């Protein structure tokens, strides 16, 4: 199915779609620094670079509603020359058997073994060290992206603002489509 993007202005930036503007607002609500379309990679311009103190993360936004649809976007990232962590988010948060919502799919690199874990669910969580919302690969890279805390999985369970930020961003962006 093809969706028609609705250009939307947020923070004086003209986003190509309302969904991209909504994710920018979500990132602001949870305190993640970001740049919109900041770099040109090989045949690809990523929607966002999320700027974390412990390493930048590429972020692509797709009008996807399933994990399968999100995973379809991995090929262009993998062939772009980007060789670090990457996140693909869609048009909704996913709730599974995991107690926290899935923000999308993420690839992770185990910095201790230089091992690539592949693409899988990105689980949102609150960090008990810095009390910020972070994400981790469901099977690996359970380090807080914001402060770098790592103690096995013991830091999970703090203040996860993602569900509230999603709802707030929905309301903020809802009527900002077009040239308004």
Q: Report if residue 145 sits inside a domain.
A: yes
Neighbours of 20 (CB within 10 A): 24
Q: Report if residue 130 sits inside a domain.
A: yes
Pairing mode, if any, of strands 57-61 and 86-94? parallel
Domain count, the chain: 1
pLDDT over 50 at 155, yes or no:
yes
Q: Name the β-bridge partners of 13.
A: 10
pLDDT value of position 156: 64
Range of the domain at 85: 8-173
pLDDT value of position 176: 62
Closest CA to 103 of 130, 82, 126, 79: 126
Q: Report if residue 67 sits inside a domain.
A: yes
CA–CA separation, 174 and 158 (whole Å): 29
Tokens of 14: 């003209």
CA–CA separation, 33 and 54 (whole Å): 12
Q: Report if residue 66 sits inside a domain.
A: yes
CA–CA separation, 34 and 121 (whole Å): 21
User: What pLDDT, in 10s, does the model give residues 35-90?
Assistant: 999 999 998 999 999 999 878 999 999 999 988 999 999 999 989 998 888 999 99
Q: Report if residue 18 sits inside a domain.
A: yes
Residue 179 pLDDT class (50, 70, 90 cuts): very low
The answer to whether the CB of 96 falls within 8 A of the CB of 112 is no
Residue 24 pLDDT class (50, 70, 90 cuts): very high
CA–CA separation, 158 and 133 (whole Å): 8
Q: Report if residue 178 sits inside a domain.
A: no
Tokens of 75: 């090929």
What is the residue whose two structure tokens read 């185990």? 110
Q: Report if residue 135 sits inside a domain.
A: yes
User: What pLDDT, in 10s, does the model give residues 110-121?
Assistant: 555 455 568 888
Half-sphere exposure at residue 42, Cβ-oriented, CA atoms within 13 angstroms:
9
Q: Report if residue 2 sits inside a domain.
A: no
Q: Bin 71: left if φ > 0, else alpha if -120 < ψ < 50, else beta.
A: alpha
Q: Is 152 exposed, middle or buried (0-12, 13-18, 19+ CB in 10 A)?
A: exposed
């Amino acid at each position: 199915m093809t969706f028609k993007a609705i250009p939307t202005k947020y923070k004086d930036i003209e986003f190509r779609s309302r969904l991209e503007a909504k994710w920018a607002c979500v990132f602001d609500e949870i305190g993640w620094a970001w740049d919109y379309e900041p770099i040109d990679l090989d045949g690809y311009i990523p929607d966002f670079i999320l700027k974390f103190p412990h390493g930048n993360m590429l972020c692509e936004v797709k009008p996807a509603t399933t994990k399968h649809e999100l995973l379809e976007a991995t090929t262009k990232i993998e062939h772009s020359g980007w060789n670090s962590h990457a996140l693909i988010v869609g048009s909704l948060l996913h709730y599974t058997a995991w107690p926290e919502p899935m923000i999308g799919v993420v690839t992770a690199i185990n910095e201790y073994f230089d091992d690539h874990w592949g693409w899988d669910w990105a689980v949102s969580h609150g960090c008990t060290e810095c009390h910020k919302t972070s994400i981790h690969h469901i099977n690996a890279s359970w380090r807080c992206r914001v402060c770098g805390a790592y103690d096995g999985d013991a830091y999970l369970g703090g203040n996860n603002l993602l569900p509230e930020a999603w709802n707030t961003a929905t309301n903020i962006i809802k009527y900002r489509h077009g040239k308004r």
